[in-house]
């Protein structure tokens, strides 16, 4: 493999990872919004609501921390 091929593969992979991370972020934000909405209309228990919020924030925070490195 030439150096150019390797660099193209790395760039493509980086972009694919960025897109995957953005997809996960959007999914978690939607899940978080759904969780809050369900809680507001009384469809979600306190325990389920708290767990959903905690997991979503932990994953979003992990992604943000990884991006800062």
Whether the predicted model's global pTM rises above the 0.85 cut: no
**Which residue segment(s) compose the domain that 52 sits in?**
18-68
Considering the domain boundaries, does residue 1 fall inside one? Answer: no
Considering the domain boundaries, does residue 62 fall inside one? Answer: yes
2 DSSP 8-state letter: -
pLDDT for 17 = 76
Q: Are 35 and 49 in contact (CB under 8 A)?
A: yes
Q: Which residue has the tokens 């959007």?
A: 26
CA dist list (Å): 63 to 21, 27, 57: 7, 13, 10
Domains held by the chain: number: 1
- Mean pLDDT computed over 1-7: 68
* Rounded-to-integer distance, Cα 34 and Cα 48, Å: 12
- Mean pLDDT computed over 3-27: 76
Considering the domain boundaries, does residue 12 fall inside one? Answer: no
pLDDT in tens, 20-42: 778 877 887 887 777 777 767 66
| Alpha-helix residue ranges (DSSP H) falling in the chain | 3-40, 46-68
Considering the domain boundaries, does residue 34 fall inside one? Answer: yes
């Amino acid at each position: 493999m030439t150096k150019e091929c390797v660099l193209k593969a790395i760039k493509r992979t980086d972009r694919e990872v960025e897109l995957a991370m953005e997809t996960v972020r959007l999914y978690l934000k939607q899940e978080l919004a759904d969780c809050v909405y369900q809680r507001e209309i009384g469809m979600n228990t306190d325990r389920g609501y708290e767990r959903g919020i905690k997991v979503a924030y932990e994953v979003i925070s992990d992604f943000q921390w990884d991006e800062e490195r």
